[in-house]
Chain A
Amino acid sequence: MYFENLALLGNYAPFFLKGVWTTIWLSAVCLALATVTGLVVGTLHQLAWKPVRALITVYIHLVRGTPFLVQLFIIFFLLPELVGLELSPIPSALVALLIHGTAYIAAIFSAGVASIPKGQWEATAAQGLSLMQTLRHVAFPQIFQFVLPPLVGQYVLLIKDTTVVSIVGVTELTKSGLLIASRIPEGVTIFSVIGVFYFLICYPLVHLANRLEQRFTPTAGN
């Protein structure tokens, strides 16, 4: 019985691999974009005009304080209304992932920029460097090692969050598993295989985050 089902599962391999591919490109696009927007928003959070900073603080808290599932549904129902057309679930999913990811990554970069001592800003200003030059040549190179461990950790969380977009009908890895499981009653096998795929994607990053943390975080007493 089990082996018959296993053979049946084999038929779904192409469908399943399509799900793997969707998860990979969705994660890659979302991570790349959210890193850029997170860097901009996070820097503005430290350096912009005060009301803008306050707005960013509210935004970060709102995203942190609500589940991604709820954010996703709000975007999913709100976005077609705002744009005025029926959208496929993928744009909604991407926008929701981007809004979600940007907030967390912005918080990381914001803490990084805040870690630059005040004297350095004054020194570069006295040297006649513009703000952009200061950021590019003085601030960012220094915060790189400070933000890298939490950033990689956040990437792992974001990749795992992409599973949630399955509920608005994006057929990524988790959704493809759910669809297969509704036809062949082999949940243990199906979700083990899916777990292994996520493990293969995430574990190297988890490992990297741990290594980076050990390398860059000073321990107490040193």
Chain B
Amino acid sequence: MLGHFNLQLIFDHFDLFRHGLWWTCLLSAMGWISAVSLGLTACALKLGPVRALQRSAGFYIESIRSTPLLVQLYFLYFGLPEIGIVLPEVAVGVIALGLNSGAYMAEIFRAGILKVAPGQIEAARSSGLSAWRIQRHVVLPQAVAYAAMPLMSQTIVLVKDSSLLSLISITELAFAAEDFYSRFFSPLEGYVTIALLYFAIYLILNSASDHWARKIKTITGTG
């Protein structure tokens, strides 16, 4: 298998991988948007004044973080049709990705907000700023800076997690490798190719994150 690693075969059928790459990017983008919206909502509820909402946001976050994505994915994939909700696989995949990463993002946003020193909020209050202005001008700008780096890490995790969607037969990058294997019966070419493509996405996101890290240092004054 190693002796005849067939490069030509990869180039001849690169369309397969291009299609997969496109779907991986699209699914990740849609998953990211759902995750950020869910994360912000859950974070707001958890920090908000209503006890019951705090509890339910907490329940969502803890139960997602303590169970594997694959189980969540199968739960939705097998479970939704049983309760009469029939959705296309892509929708199920995006919901699973969004629900999963949303819980992690909620914690990231919350940690960012709580990291802002209480003394600053007290100082702002005694300077006569309204509650809204304190959030808008003191807390949120710093919270965004604190949350940016972990958010990028979670984004990288989300892109990698989208590979699990191949298991409910969504034709993304990991599915392309499987497809390649079943057509040509040589598995390594396909999996090494997609490994390199995933790695390329990682390098792009990682360098963007490093670039921001340097800018953010000037806002927060720390690492």
Contact = CB atoms under 8 A, between A and B. Distances in A.
A73 B70 contact: no
A191 B68 CA distance: 11
A131 interface: no
A51 interface: no
A124 B63 CA distance: 47
Interface residues of A, number: 43
Given A74-B188, A77-B187, A202-B66, A191 B79 contact: yes
A81 interface: yes
Q: Which 7 A-B pairs have the closest CB atoms?
A: A187-B78, A221-B117, A65-B202, A191-B75, A67-B163, A160-B68, A67-B160
A73 B177 contact: yes
Contacts of B199: 62, 65-66
Interface of B: 1-2, 62-63, 65-72, 74-75, 77-79, 82-83, 114-120, 156, 160-161, 163-164, 166-167, 174, 177, 187-188, 191-192, 194-195, 198-199, 201-203, 206, 222
Contact of A194 (B63, B71, B163, B166): B71
Given A64-B202, A74-B195, A220 B67 contact: no
Interface string A148-185: 00000000100011011011000000100110010001
Contacts of A186: 82
A167 B163 CA distance: 12
B117 A220 contact: yes
B138 to A, nearest CB: 13
Interface string A178-222: 100100011110111011001100110010000000000001110
Given A69-B174, A74-B191, A206 B71 contact: no
A191 B66 contact: no
A70 interface: yes
A68 interface: yes
Interface of A: 61-62, 64-71, 73-74, 77-78, 81, 156, 160-161, 163-164, 166-167, 174, 177-178, 181, 185-188, 190-192, 194-195, 198-199, 202-203, 206, 219-221
Contacts, number: 127
Given A66-B199, A160-B67, A198-B66, 5 more contacts: A74-B192, A78-B188, A164-B70, A181-B74, A220-B116
A74 B196 CA distance: 12
Contacts of B75: 187-188, 191-192, 195
A198 B164 CA distance: 18
Contacts of A167: 167
13 contacts: A67-B174, A70-B191, A70-B194, A73-B191, A74-B195, A163-B71, A178-B74, A181-B78, A187-B75, A188-B82, A191-B79, A219-B117, A220-B115
B198 A206 contact: no
A188 B72 CA distance: 10
A206 B66 CA distance: 7
Contacts of B116: 220
A189 to B, nearest CB: 9
A203 B66 contact: yes
A206 B68 CA distance: 13
Nearest to A70: B195
Contacts of A185: 78, 82
Contact of B69 (A160, A181, A190, A220): A160
A190 B191 CA distance: 31
Contact of B65 (A78, A177, A187, A206): A206
Contacts of B192: 74
Contacts of B70: 163-164, 166, 174
Contacts of A160: 67-69
B115 A70 contact: no
Which of B68, B116, B119, B206: most chain A CB closer than 10 A?
B68
A219 B146 CA distance: 12
Contact of A220 (B1, B203, B222): B222
Interface-centre pick from A64, A68, A206 (highest chain B CB count, 10 A): A64
A145 B65 CA distance: 23
